[in-house]
Amino acid sequence: MFSCFYKEESMKQVESFGMMMMPQDDDGFTTTSTTSGLPSLVHPHGSSLHPCFEEVYEEEDGTASALRIHSQAEKRRRERINARLSTLRRMIPDSNKMDKASLLGKVIEQVKDLKRKAVDIGKLQTIPSETNEVIVESKGDDKPIMYIKASICCDDRPDLLADLIQAFQGLRVRAVKADMISLGGRVRNVFVLCKKDSQGNVCMNSLKDSIKEVLARIASSDVVSGKRQRLMQSQYTNISF
């Protein structure tokens, strides 16, 4: 049945060395091998040793030594995997009483869910980034009604929206849709603009360029700069818009 026994106690320090080599996400709890820390197969009767142990204990031949090292290494590998499994189990709610396969199934679900949420949000370009960005693109260039998608990402400030509104008025465009999110002092505003008066026959590209230029100036404008006009403030920043 068993081809080899070896003295388990002689490798304790090797075991702990193996634990110390594990990456940072380890934890002492490595699925606690069955009942005691030692395999019950090897030590079925307390501390008494199997008859064939004496020979191995005194001096083991090459084959026995190789097998011993091999089974040690395999034990370390199992512990490495089970430690990760335990870490995952701690991250998944209500997974304490699950078997390994079910746990991994939950992990798959979780990752899929979170990934889907992340792309849903990322698709809308809604998270403010750390760098200032101005993106202007138009849709339906050949249609009678033309829309321009203008996105600005910059530091948040109280009168940013007032500046934007003033800019749009000056450019004679109106926002038919506005998505905004501020996060950690940064803000990203995405507007869908269309021309205010249909009679004007301004070139689309030059209008886009104008928008881009004005938005870029707003994005990089400094709060301490006293140059900005505050004409709109009395009317709009009463309500901070």
In DSSP terms, 152 is beta-bridged to: 134, 189
Single out the residue of 131, 198, 229, 238 in contact with a copy of itself (rule: CB under 8 A). Answer: 238
Mask for 59-88, x = binds a copy of itself (CB under 8 A): ------------------x--xx--xx-xx
Q: Strand 173-183 and strand 147-155: pairing?
A: unpaired
Q: How far is the CB of 113 from DNA (least distance, A)?
A: 23
Residue type, 17: F
CA dist 186 and 162 (Å) reads: 17
**Sign for the pseudo-dihedral over CA of 139, 140, 145, 146:** positive
Contacts of residue 21, defined as CB under 8 A and 6 or more positions apart, other chains included, come to none
- Residue 157 touches DNA, criterion: CB under 7 A: no
Q: How far is the CB of 101 from a copy of itself (least distance, A)?
A: 4
CA dist 48 and 63 (Å) reads: 24
Q: How far is the CB of 63 from DNA (least distance, A)?
A: 8
| Closer residue to a copy of itself (CB): 169 or 220 | 169
For 90, the enclosing helix (H) or strand (E) is helix 62-91
Helices (H), 124-203: 160-171
Binding segment (CB under 8 A) for a copy of itself, from list 53-61, 116-124, 141-149, 205-213: 116-124
241 makes contact, choosing from DNA, a copy of itself, none, with CB < 5 to 8 Å by partner type, with: a copy of itself
174 makes contact, choosing from a copy of itself, DNA, none, with CB < 5 to 8 Å by partner type, with: a copy of itself
- Residue 35 touches DNA, criterion: CB under 7 A: yes
**Contact set for a copy of itself, span 153-212 (CB under 8 A):** 158, 161, 165, 168-169, 174-184, 196
CA dist 195 and 54 (Å) reads: 94
Q: 204-220 and 160-171 helices cross at what angle (nearest 10)? A: 160
CA dist 179 and 194 (Å) reads: 15
- Contact residues toward a copy of itself (CB under 8 A) are 1, 3, 23, 25, 77, 80-81, 84-85, 87-88, 91, 100-101, 104-105, 107-108, 110-112, 114-115, 117-118, 120-121, 124, 126-127, 158, 161, 165, 168-169, 174-184, 196, 238-241
